[in-house]
Amino acid sequence: MSLHPKPRDGDKVRTVDPVELSSRVIDTGVVHEPTNRVSNRLTEVADDIAVVESFSHMVVFRTDAGLVSFDASGAGSGQAVMEALRGWRTDPVHSLIYTHGHMDHVGGSGAVMADAEARSHRAPTVVGHDNLPPRLERYQKTNAWNHIINRRQFGGISPRHGMEVASHERDFVPADAAWPDVTYQESLTLHVGGLEVQLQHAKGETDDHTWAWLPEHKALCTGDLVTWVFPNAGNPQKVQRYPGLWAEALRTMMTYDAQLLLPAHGLPIRGHDRIQRVLGDLAGVLEDLVRDTVAMMNQGARLDEIIHTVRVDPDKLDLPWLVAAYDEPEFVVRNIWRMYGGWWDANPSHLKPAPEAALAAELSELAGGPAILVARAQELAAAGDFRLASHLMDYAGLTAADDAGVHQARAEFYLERRRAEASLMSKGIFAAAARESQAVAEPES
């Protein structure tokens, strides 16, 4: 399981310089190697600017008053990121700016603070949006739930990516994570050692997102508003995303004469035309999804009809910076519906539904038993109709909750469906379903 768009051929060459790679990929549209790298290796991408490629990246600017860092990576990678940074500069970290409060951006901050203490440096000033502390408080309140959903979403990712899945007993927000010292509402301009940093709030993947314009370098720091995959605006297990406002932020970035774009995932981009193209493509697909979804809502369509009708141009999804390797357009449609239409999908039977197990038992009896449901699901899967097959397989599993044979078939089915999916989110959820049934089919002795 990977966050990376797969290379388009068997070429094994690895380009060390991420800017060189991004320029080649954008100019040719051809991918020979991953565009999201988790190497914990630092590259000086311009004078006084470095990027440590990790999960997530640390983007650092050198100033006369010390270093300004965007993000701290995750708890599992924070120390490695700091070691890479110290191989480049030993200046104090003056400011640590969070692009948002996800743990792959905030979780490694303990390593930043420990480094400052070990070097007898003043602790960095931590800056984030007003909504960031409430986010961290929400994570603390729902500690076990966040571990549950992360285990489904990231359970198959190699530990080398720094996204290890922790047990429920551990704190989802690490105890040594640094909370913001300074917050802002709409915008904030910082001046650090002669460097001007213009922070802007945007709602996109989160409600606490910060992006920045650094005029001296003509550089944009975009956080997760640019990630070299299809925008994470639909995640099935997370709170509301903001596709339309995300697109607005990207369009605002396009009004700047940016020559360097520094994302928190994926490759840095150099050159005004390349930056304009990527930003425009990202904004365009989000705008199209919002337009088409809202249009069908205004026509009175149900959510079911909308998610099976609204589509993104397949040519767009083939672009290396828009590959649906993490999130999917269909999930974004659901988030647009949730934003404008609430949680009810307009199907009357779903407003106050019967328990799923009761419905499953009724349909199983009508069909002639769970074995018949399993057999039909397998036929549908063999014909490529995994969507319909999943319903029947789940009804069989609910009806025969303790039947090892049924659950063995269900586990095999969901592993097969996982292999057929492209996005990490789908793969993770289907793999988790397989594990659920494997636990029934092969209980621990």
Quick one: pLDDT at residue 14? 86
CA distances from 368 to 363, 371, 387, 413, 441 (A): 9, 8, 22, 21, 22
In the structure encoding, which two tokens stand for residue 80, read together?
Answer: 């490695």
Residue with tokens 């489904």: 152
What is the pLDDT, as a whole number, of residue 263?
Answer: 98
So what's the pLDDT on residue 10?
A: 45
Fold for 18-284, please state it: Metallo-beta-lactamase; Chain A (3.60.15)
- The reply to whether 354-441 shares the fold of 18-284 is no
Residue 154's pLDDT is: 84
Q: What is the largest CA-CA distance in the chain?
A: 77
How much is the pLDDT for 3? Answer: 43
Q: How much is the pLDDT for 169?
A: 61
For residue 5, what pLDDT is reported? 46
- Alpha-carbon span 232 to 282, nearest angstrom: 11
pLDDT 10s digits, 157-175: 545 544 454 545 689 999 9
Cα–Cα distance between 258 and 25 in angstroms, integer?
19
> What's the pLDDT at 156?
53
Mean pLDDT by 10 residues, the chain (445 residues): 43 82 96 94 98 98 98 97 98 98 98 98 98 98 96 68 54 98 98 98 98 98 98 96 98 98 98 98 98 98 98 96 97 98 97 98 98 98 98 98 97 97 95 96 80
Phi-psi label, residue 162: left if phi above 0, alpha if psi -120 to 50, beta otherwise: left
DSSP lists the bridge partners of residue 202 as 209
Phi-psi region at 173: left, alpha or beta (left = phi > 0; alpha = psi -120 to 50)? beta
Predicted confidence at residue 9, as pLDDT, reads 44
Amino acid at 412: E
- N residues, the chain: 445
Query: Model pTM?
Result: 0.94
Question: Considering the domain 354-441 in this protein, what is its CATH number?
Answer: 1.25.40.880
In the chain, what is the straight-line distance between the N-terminal and C-terminal CA atoms, in Å?
Answer: 29
What are the structural domain ranges in the chain? 18-284, 289-341, 354-441
Cβ atoms within 10 Å, residue 257: 8
